[in-house]
Amino acid sequence: MKLRTFILISISSFALFALTVKFSWALDYPMSEEAVAGKEVWQRYNCVSCHTLFGNGGYVGGDLTHITAERTPDYLMTLFNNPPVLPPHQKETHTSLTEKETLAMIAYFEYLNTIPTLGWPPQPKELKGGDVR
């Protein structure tokens, strides 16, 4: 390869790289700050010890990847504000959250629900968290 061709290819490759970086920064970050805060709440309270997201986690309380498709924000507000006692022994109360934490949690769940999972994870009816109210 001639030196001139080599230099030309190098310069155009670098220009392409620089343009890609510049325009990808301008793209919208699809996760809102509130949804990120919700993920922090999820981690802080270790919800994953009892619940799964995308099928990964604990099998006590059911998968929550698409919970906002099944439950209304009002239902979730009431659940965390006035948590029910948990089956099967009714000795432990569900984790409670402040209003701010709950709103962040809902934003996180809404974000998760936008991720296409092609029906994953399958949830046998008897393993799914039933009506807690």
Q: Please give the residues from 61 up to 120 whose contact with ligand HEC meets the rule CB under 6 A.
A: 61-62, 64, 67, 71, 76, 79, 86-87, 94-95, 97, 105
Dist. CA 35–CA 38, nearest whole Å: 5
Dist. CA 128–CA 43, nearest whole Å: 21
Which tokens in the block code for residue 71?
Answer: 């439950």
Q: Please give the residues from 2 up to 31 whose contact with ligand HEC meets the rule CB under 6 A.
A: none
Other beta carbons within 10 angstroms of residue 18's beta carbon come to: 10
CA 92 to chain centre: 26
User: For ligand HEC, which is the closer residue by CB, 50 or 112?
Assistant: 50
User: For ligand HEC, which is the closer residue by CB, 36 or 94?
Assistant: 94
DSSP 65: T
Number of residues interacting with ligand HEC: please give it, by CB under 6 A. 22
CA 128 to chain centre: 18
Scanning 5-13, 23-31, 114-122, 124-132 for contacts with ligand HEC by CB under 6 A, the matching segment is: 124-132
For binding to ligand HEC (CB under 6 A), which residues are involved?
45, 47, 49-51, 60-62, 64, 67, 71, 76, 79, 86-87, 94-95, 97, 105, 129-130, 132
